[in-house]
Amino acid sequence: MAWSHLIFDTLLCFLLSRFFLVIYRSFRRSERPMRRDTETCSLAIFLGSGGHTAEASILLSALDFSRYSPRTYIVSEGDELSSQKAVALEHLESAKNTPFDGRFNYRLMRIPRARYVHQPLLSAPFTTFKCFLACVRLVTVVPLFQKTAPGKPFVDLLIMNGPGTCVPLCAAIMLNRLVGLPTPRMVFVESFARVQTISLSGSILCRIVDRFIVQWPEQIALTGGRGECYGWLV
């Protein structure tokens, strides 16, 4: 029994040490190598429906699609409007660039919702865990067994702007970091609607994501020095 306690305590100390090391590294952005301007960057963006999808579309429209390619749109199950918005954006960007130059390079991926509108709080942990398992499959299982580039992260960069389902997605990425698997960089852009407060998902992920961007200077003080403000982005 004493040996089992010792093994458990050792594993717990290792996991806690590894967790704090991962969090510490997320603060050391200056030590990470910068990507050259000529390099492409595979991008994923989470579309959280409604206003979140509208803001995410505006953010995407400012990017150079020839550099941020291929693109992965992550949407919640049943959110057909966000899927249509993603396809419409891709068609619009493709129409701007003729002849066709390979920019029309994207995919749609669906994950279960972490919590539905008006869902009772007692059942929310079950749907959140189901969403987490789907995210683990997306960011861990599929990349490990892909034929083209096994072991690479599913994308280089993940952008989110506040929907609650992005929390299980980030949790799955953090699990990869804890075990030493390659992961994308995570950028959280707080919603324009948040002026003097931080969203619940933002409060949870503020210390976890690689970059936390706010759109109002009043929010910086709420992030414990993690927030970056470059003005209105949407």
pLDDT digits (tens, 9 = 90+) for 128-141: 999 999 999 999 98
* Amino acid 8: pLDDT: 46
Residue 2 lies in a domain: no
* Nearest in space to 229 (alpha carbons), one of 199, 195, 205: 195
pTM: 0.81
* Amino acid 105: pLDDT: 86
* Amino acid 223: pLDDT: 87
pLDDT by residue for the chain (234 residues), tens only, comes to 555 544 544 555 555 555 555 554 555 544 456 666 678 899 999 998 778 888 998 888 888 888 898 999 999 888 899 999 999 998 888 777 655 455 568 999 999 988 877 778 788 888 999 999 999 999 998 888 776 666 688 899 999 987 888 999 999 999 998 888 889 999 999 988 888 889 989 999 998 999 999 998 888 888 888 889 988 887
* Amino acid 233: pLDDT: 85
Domain around 79? 38-229
Residue 33 CB contacts under 8 Å (≥ 6 apart), including other chains: none
Residue 24 lies in a domain: no
Question: C-alpha angle with apex 102: 173 to 110, nearest 5 degrees?
Answer: 35
The predicted-structure confidence for 85-121, as pLDDT tens digits, reads as follows: 999 998 888 777 655 455 568 999 999 988 877 778 7
Rounded CA-CA distance 222/218 in Å is 8
Residue 21 lies in a domain: no
Residue 10 lies in a domain: no
Residue 18 lies in a domain: no
Residue 32 lies in a domain: no
Residue 124 lies in a domain: yes
Total structural domains within the chain = 1
Residues of 117-140 as b/e, b for ≥16 C-beta within 10 angstroms? eeeeeeeeeebbeebbebbbebbb
Numbers of helices and strands, H then E, in the chain: 7, 7
Q: The domain spanning residue 94 has which CATH number?
A: 3.40.50.2000
- Computed from CA positions of residues 48, 46, 71, 149, in that sequence, does the dihedral angle turn out positive or negative? negative
DSSP 8-state symbol, 140 = I
In contact, 147 and 164? CB cutoff 8 Å: no
